[in-house]
């Protein structure tokens, strides 16, 4: 799991270097960061990225994917919050 965390941290650093005016690349990197967080078990971080992508109208395919994932990630995070 340490490798997944390290890879996720590196991806987040790369995403933070992008500027919002990078357009589609910025939003794709944001969505992928959410997916990496999800794979690494970092559900709270993933939820934030995926929520943002779900509200995104500039890149419809990312918006659709994020809206599909959002209920599942929200449910997983709710389970974790109960502990």
Cα separation, 30 vs 64, whole angstroms: 14
Cα four-point dihedral sign 70, 76, 80, 82: positive
Flag whether the pTM goes above 0.85: no
Instruction: Determine the pLDDT at residue 81.
Output: 54
More reliable by pLDDT, 45 or 15: 45
SS3 58: coil
Asked whether residue 35 carries a pLDDT value surpassing 70, the answer given is: yes
Instruction: Determine the pLDDT at residue 77.
Output: 63
**Is 46 part of any domain?**
yes
Span 37-60, average pLDDT? 81
Span 50-54, average pLDDT? 80
**Is 17 part of any domain?**
no
Instruction: Please state, in angstroms and as integers, the Cα–Cα distance from residue 27 to each residue in 2, 15, 16, 83, following that order.
Output: 26, 9, 11, 32
The residue segments making up the domain with residue 28 are 2-10+24-81
**Is 19 part of any domain?**
no
Per-residue pLDDT band at 76 (split at 50, 70, 90): low
Span 48-54, average pLDDT? 80
**Is 36 part of any domain?**
yes
Cα separation, 32 vs 70, whole angstroms: 14
- The domain tally of the chain equals 1
**Is 16 part of any domain?**
no
């Amino acid at each position: 799991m340490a490798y997944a965390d390290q890879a996720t941290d590196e991806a987040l650093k790369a995403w933070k270097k992008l500027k919002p005016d990078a357009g589609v690349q910025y939003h794709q990197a944001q969505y992928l960061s959410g997916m990496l967080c999800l794979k690494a078990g970092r559900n709270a971080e993933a939820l934030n990225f995926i929520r943002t992508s779900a509200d995104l109208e500039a890149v419809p395919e990312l918006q659709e994917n994020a809206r599909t994932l959002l209920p599942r990630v929200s449910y997983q995070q709710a389970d974790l919050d109960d502990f």
